[in-house]
Chains A and B, each alone.
Chain A
């Protein structure tokens, strides 16, 4: 899956995470800022990378600003950003997500 353009999803409200994603030539670049970095930084990174892998996104730059989002929300916002970056609004592959 290749991203067509950059996109943004989520908010910086408490318990949410804002994901900005943009196309990149090769590989994944991640910049992570979080209000819970010490205790959940590793887990947040793991979740973001897992979702990208599952959606077969191999090349992207992700800037994440986290305010204590649970894994479920992190997954949602990354997925939303990816599908927006590919202009896909319907017929999402729910069974793989």
Chain B
């Protein structure tokens, strides 16, 4: 069946009530009963939930073949937890496991062999970077992978689309009774937002830490009332890779140009007034926008009412200068943000559900005025691809892209027109991650395109000294420079399903065909 984004979804995946994508607000007022975990009461007092080691914890959690385990990715490229746990699960001979991670990255390449040998037969994740993505694209995973954005993962868990049997929650510090925090240890990550839904909805919850804190380790991100076992390991991760020392400000002149145009466009839209809300990513141009906004804010005496994070140092600086009212944080990227989270009186940790779940009673993304986002590809319908690379292999992550674009009043894509010969703006994206109706402005170093749906923004930016072009003109310029690209060729086999935040299917990813141009 063809969905509203123009993509063909094979009928064999439209079972058990799964529908095709029918618009970003299609499921407005959708009613459901929340799912819940099976809980074993702990009435008899006990001093501690500590178990000897991971193996013990897995055995006690009664993990069996065919079950689902979950992980968060607050430790980013420095994570040791996923590999540690999967090694143990494999060694215990448990098979046919579904891994429900908030994201998987290059640090998790070692689990590819578990995909190959059938230990892991299902994956739900936002990111599928590096070798894991390659393995999925080659069709090595038994069941098609589910690519879910942050809000979508929470929705899937809270509605019961996914049931987590055992959640493994890495924590920088925990007490013996399971109160876990994102700080107080050897490798702090600041917040544990992604893990909160796991703790509340998984049948069994195992906290893994390398720093045992005195009881009670308060205020906890993960509470003792949800935790079954606590395991102490030598190291939960590589602290240098968990927190970027300092995200470097880009000095790339192209990125700076893009950021300047994006900032100039933003400040000329009607939402730029005192108390505006804002979110941006950690990539080159995105981070630079945060810096470039400051002089405009000071000149017009405008403060940011709320920033939703991913938090980074430039934001912390603005917070400390009194230019931001509050930071609502779902992920801390660097050391300054980690230190500020839960210490600064206006820097708050929020759960991923509070942040982006489309099916609760109102998430923070709905209160956003602006979001600055990246893109691998954008097509002439303004659809965005952040998952598949130019060769058709899965290598990216939707993250909060889909959620923030849908919720914000003005979503702005920042990207170079062409990346190493690959046009960013093209006729049709390889994979639709975020539908065009959610994207308002596209900024490249060559020109800016405004979604024709947004006549109000077109009017606001008329007469401003900015290179406004149509999206077709941007595509033409990209093709003129790089040449018209050939379509990437795929086999029929579906290797991954791209789920929209509301549970409908917005696209499928197939196995790329092997090609050669040798003579």
Do A and B contact each other directly (Cβ–Cβ < 8 Å)? Answer: yes
**A: interface residue count bin:** 20 to 34
Closest B residue to A63 using CB positions: B518
Count: A-B pairs, CB below 8 Å: 63
One digit per residue, 1 when the CB lies within 8 angstroms of any chain B CB and 0 when it does not, for chain A 17-32 equals 0000000000011111
Closest B residue to A43 using CB positions: B483
- The reply to whether the CB of B481 lies closer than 8 angstroms to some CB of chain A is yes
- The reply to whether the CB of B486 lies closer than 8 angstroms to some CB of chain A is yes
One digit per residue, 1 when the CB lies within 8 angstroms of any chain B CB and 0 when it does not, for chain A 37-60 equals 111111111000100000000000
Are the C-beta atoms of A15 and B421 separated by less than 8 Å? yes
Tell me, in angstroms, the Cα distance from A32 to B516 when the chains sit together: 8
Chain A interface SS verdict (over half): mixed
Chain A residue contacts of B517, Cβ below 8 A: 30, 32, 37, 41-42, 44-45
Are the C-beta atoms of A37 and B391 separated by less than 8 Å? yes
- The reply to whether the CB of A71 lies closer than 8 angstroms to some CB of chain B is yes
Closest A residue to B391 using CB positions: A38
Q: A37-B391, A38-B392, A70-B481 are in contact. Are A43 and B486 (CB under 8 A)?
A: yes
- The reply to whether the CB of B515 lies closer than 8 angstroms to some CB of chain A is yes
Docked complex: B478-501 residues within 8 A CB-CB of A: 481-483, 485-486, 488-489
Tell me, in angstroms, the Cα distance from A68 to B482 when the chains sit together: 9
Chain B interface SS verdict (over half): loop
- The reply to whether the CB of A36 lies closer than 8 angstroms to some CB of chain B is yes
Chain A residue contacts of B390, Cβ below 8 A: 36, 38-39
Tell me, in angstroms, the Cα distance from A69 to B483 when the chains sit together: 11
Are the C-beta atoms of B515 and A40 separated by less than 8 Å? no
Closest B residue to A41 using CB positions: B517
Are the C-beta atoms of A32 and B391 separated by less than 8 Å? no
Tell me, in angstroms, the Cα distance from A21 to B332 when the chains sit together: 51
Tell me, in angstroms, the Cα distance from A68 to B420 when the chains sit together: 5
- The reply to whether the CB of B519 lies closer than 8 angstroms to some CB of chain A is yes
Are the C-beta atoms of A32 and B421 separated by less than 8 Å? no
In the complex, how many angstroms separate the beta carbon of B108 from the nearest chain A beta carbon? Answer: 24
Are the C-beta atoms of B420 and A39 separated by less than 8 Å? no
Q: Among the listed A14, A30, A42, which residue makes an inter-chain contact with B420, where contact means beta carbons less than 8 Å apart?
A: A14
Tell me, in angstroms, the Cα distance from A71 to B480 when the chains sit together: 11
Are the C-beta atoms of B518 and A15 separated by less than 8 Å? no
- The reply to whether the CB of A84 lies closer than 8 angstroms to some CB of chain B is no
Are the C-beta atoms of A38 and B512 separated by less than 8 Å? yes
Tell me, in angstroms, the Cα distance from A83 to B483 when the chains sit together: 26
Closest A residue to B481 using CB positions: A70
Chain A residue contacts of B486, Cβ below 8 A: 38-43
In the complex, how many angstroms separate the beta carbon of A36 from the nearest chain B beta carbon? Answer: 5
Q: A29-B519, A32-B517, A37-B515 are in contact. Are A68 and B421 (CB under 8 A)?
A: yes
- The reply to whether the CB of B509 lies closer than 8 angstroms to some CB of chain A is no
- The reply to whether the CB of B422 lies closer than 8 angstroms to some CB of chain A is yes
Are the C-beta atoms of B481 and A40 separated by less than 8 Å? no
Chain A residue contacts of B512, Cβ below 8 A: 38
In the complex, how many angstroms separate the beta carbon of A67 from the nearest chain B beta carbon? Answer: 7
In the complex, how many angstroms separate the beta carbon of A7 from the nearest chain B beta carbon? Answer: 19
Chain B residue contacts of A49, Cβ below 8 A: 519
- The reply to whether the CB of A35 lies closer than 8 angstroms to some CB of chain B is yes
Tell me, in angstroms, the Cα distance from A86 to B339 when the chains sit together: 64
Chain B residue contacts of A68, Cβ below 8 A: 420-422
Closest B residue to A30 using CB positions: B519
- B-side interface residues toward A, CB under 8 Å? 390-392, 420-422, 481-483, 485-486, 488-489, 512, 515-519
User: Could you list some 5 contacts between A and B, CB below 8 A?
Assistant: A15-B421, A35-B420, A38-B488, A39-B391, A71-B483
Closest 5 CB pairs of A and B: A68-B420, A68-B421, A39-B485, A30-B519, A41-B517
- Beyond contacts A14-B420, A41-B486, A69-B421: 17 other A-B pairs, Cβ-Cβ < 8 A, are A15-B421, A28-B519, A29-B519, A30-B518, A30-B519, A36-B390, A38-B391, A38-B392, A38-B512, A39-B390, A39-B421, A40-B486, A42-B517, A43-B483, A43-B486, A45-B519, A70-B482
